[in-house]
Amino acid sequence: MKKFYVASSFNNKDTVRRVSNELIDKGFMLTYDWTKNERASTLEDLQEIGQQEKKAVMEADFIIVLLPGGKGSHIEFGLALAQGKRIYLYSSNDEVNKFETTSTFYHLSEVEICIGSVNNLIHTVTNSQTLLN
């Protein structure tokens, strides 16, 4: 069973839950559901959540990053990239291909850019991970 983690902004938690639930229904295993957390209110909270999220990224076979993401999402992206994990970078629009708003790291071979609907993202991840088995 392939393990995954979904990184994004707290503002996208409904979409994170949808993607996670649909992949779980397809037989994948979520390493950590950060959407169950409340917003951190202390440095100790941040440290605990950071440890859990770091562990989840390390345990995942692949990660999904839903844009727009925050600082944490991009750090999780970097952790996954440093480990050579497959990263699915999702955007509902074409911002990842606009020179003014993109990042060099978005265009590395470990990253698969998914643009469009969430259904398209789930289809891409499911098909890609099935082919990698």
- CATH number for the domain spanning 121: value is 3.40.50.450
At residue 100, the 3 state secondary structure works out as: coil
End-to-end CA separation in angstroms for the chain: 10
- Which pLDDT tens digit goes with each residue over 37-77? 888 889 999 999 999 999 999 999 999 999 999 889 999 99
In this prediction, what percent of the chain has a pLDDT beyond 90?
80
Among 13-22, 50-59, 89-98, whose mean pLDDT is lowest?
Answer: 89-98
Please check whether residue 88 is in contact with residue 63, taking contact to mean a CB–CB distance below 8 angstroms. yes
Higher pLDDT, 33 or 40: 33
Q: Give the per-residue pLDDT at 133.
A: 60
Count structural domains, the chain.
Answer: 1
Q: Give the per-residue pLDDT at 99.
A: 86
What is the span of the domain harbouring residue 120? 3-132
